[in-house]
Amino acid sequence: MELDYLDFDHNDNGDGSASWDAMANLLPARLSAALLEVERVLGWAHAEFGNAGEWCDWDYDLQCQQDGAEDLSATFDCESQALRCTLPAMDGERCTLTLTLRGTPSFGEALQKRFSIG
């Protein structure tokens, strides 16, 4: 699956795990499309590797903000496989969406294969 908004950078953490960081800075009208990609990635990870957490195969950090406004409170609900986020002001400033994934080597290999991440 190709990703249009999320462009991941890979980092080895030195302890056998790795992390992938993606950031998108976009107009409020484009935020829903970028959030849909996040939902797909997190839904896949949850379905393939179970719950996220510090002692699990994978974990994540998700942040979403609109410049000049409060945090948009983006959260992923594992049970419904849905991402929830406060809607931005459509006439407001740009939104910044960041997603960091951390995982084991097997998680990383599957992530790279599934989403064509280099």
Q: CB within 8 A of 113, min separation 6: which ones? A: none
The yes-or-no verdict on residue 118 having pLDDT over 80 is no
Q: What is the pTM of this model?
A: 0.92
Taking the C-alpha atoms of residue 71 and residue 57, their distance in angstroms, rounded to an integer, is 28
The tens digit of pLDDT for each residue in 65-89 reads 999 988 999 999 988 989 999 999 9
Taking the C-alpha atoms of residue 100 and residue 116, their distance in angstroms, rounded to an integer, is 17
Which pLDDT value is given to residue 95?
Answer: 96
| Residue 87 CB burial class (10 angstroms; 0-12, 13-18, ≥19) | exposed
Taking the C-alpha atoms of residue 118 and residue 24, their distance in angstroms, rounded to an integer, is 17
